[in-house]
């Protein structure tokens, strides 16, 4: 199996929705929402890529690191790599409908279980989307984390109850979905969440709460103080607000503010193993990857998703050797090019 072949097949199966670009950087698909692009000018998606590119590593080969350990843990669960599948929904509107929600969730969950990592599922205006991820977690017994959009507190608590019954290890809320017009127009409530509301959610669910869509140290502090166990530094892949900062640029300050208080994940433009290593060096415990996994699914199903995970984990392993990094507790320093 070859990544270029997977991309080409995905391009055919997602025709009109994704070009399967050699580098998934948001340029060719700018503004294509619905679709796989970033909202408006596409600047926020593109900035995620640029922000990661600005950070550099130092090549080191005079050391004794021969077999780096790329395993880690999240919320007490041991995983073989710090690379998780981001929650993805809306395949019909965003990817053309070649795969159904259940097709995608099942193959992604199976792939994550087979490679030893965490699967995350999503939520959207179509009420069948959340159950598709829940069922994938239940049937595969993967380490799974469903995410709800920022609905009413009562709706979120109910979705967390369903997640718990399915065997999920945690439960998340996409707080950066607060302004999703598609949901508002379909008559479903989404909106910002106050500190009091987060505390109420934490108090009334039985799973650790993850808040996804944190882009400032101040909101990271609120998440930690309100009882959330983890955050995802994310601008929703650049799909909800134009002209935000890239996640790699805001991550260091967030890690400085709440590192040690709460577990930190990050997404946004992660494509390769060196991207993973840079995000870990900037303060994340693990990364979420979305679009490339969607492309893999359309280019070769479960096997292609596993291929992509192994490709990126191999790149991470190599990058750790070439930076003298023996494990993920001893990541190298990174710096911005002048």
Known binding residues for glyoxylate: 239
Q: Of the candidates 226, 156, 234, which has an alpha carbon nearest to the alpha carbon of residue 190?
A: 156
How many residues are recorded in the chain?
338
Nearest to 216 by CA among 249, 178, 254: 254
Confirm whether 63 is a catalytic residue.
no
CA pair distance 23, 300, nearest whole angstrom: 18
| Binding positions for FMN | 212, 234, 236, 267-271, 290-291
Question: Which residue ranges make up the annotated binding site?
Answer: 212, 234, 236, 239, 267-271, 290-291
User: Crossing angle for the helix pair 195-204 and 153-166, nearest 10 degrees?
Assistant: 30
Phi-psi region of 295 (alpha: psi -120 to 50; beta: other; left: phi over 0): alpha
Q: Taking the mean position of all CA atoms in its chain, how far away is CA 87? A: 6
Using the 8-state DSSP alphabet, how is residue 288 labeled? E
CB 18 within 8 A of CB 101: no
Pairing relationship of beta strands 77-79 and 72-74 according to DSSP bridges: antiparallel
Query: How far is Cα 177 from Cα 1, in angstroms, rounded to an integer?
Result: 36
Which candidate in 236, 285, 298, 302 is catalytic? 236
Catalytic residue numbers? 236
């Amino acid at each position: 199996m070859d990544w270029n072949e997977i991309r080409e097949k995905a391009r055919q199966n997602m025709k009109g929705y994704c070009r399967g670009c050699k580098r998934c950087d948001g340029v060719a698909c700018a503004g294509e929402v619905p679709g796989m692009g970033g909202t408006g000018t596409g600047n926020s998606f593109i900035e995620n890529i640029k922000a990661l590119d600005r950070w550099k590593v130092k090549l080191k080969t005079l050391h004794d690191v021969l077999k780096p350990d790329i395993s880690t843990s999240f919320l007490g669960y041991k995983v073989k790599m710090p690379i998780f599948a981001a929650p993805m929904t809306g395949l019909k509107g965003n990817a053309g409908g070649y795969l159904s929600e259940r097709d995608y969730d099942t193959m992604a969950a199976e792939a994550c279980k087979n490679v030893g990592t965490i699967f995350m599922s999503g939520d959207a205006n179509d009420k069948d989307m959340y159950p598709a991820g829940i069922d994938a977690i239940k049937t595969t017994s993967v380490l799974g984390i469903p995410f709800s959009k920022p609905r009413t507190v009562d709706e979120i608590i109910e979705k967390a109850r369903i997640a718990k019954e399915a065997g999920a290890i945690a439960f998340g809320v996409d707080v950066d979905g607060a302004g999703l017009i598609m949901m508002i127009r379909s008559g479903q409530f989404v909106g910002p969440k106050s500190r009091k509301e987060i505390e109420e959610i934490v108090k009334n669910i039985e799973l650790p709460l993850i808040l996804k869509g944190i882009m400032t140290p101040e909101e990271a502090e609120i998440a930690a103080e309100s009882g959330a166990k983890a955050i995802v530094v994310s601008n929703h892949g650049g799909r909800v607000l134009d002209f935000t900062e890239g996640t790699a640029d805001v991550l260091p300050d967030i890690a400085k503010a709440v590192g040690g208080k709460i577990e930190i994940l990050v997404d946004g433009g992660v494509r390769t193993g060196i991207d993973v290593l840079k995000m870990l060096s900037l303060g994340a415990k693990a990364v979420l990857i979305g679009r490339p996994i969607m492309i893999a699914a359309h280019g070769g199903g479960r096997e292609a998703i596993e291929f992509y995970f192994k490709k990126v984990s191999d790149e991470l392993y190599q990058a750790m050797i070439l930076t003298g990094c023996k494990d993920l507790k001893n990541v190298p320093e990174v710096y911005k090019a002048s």
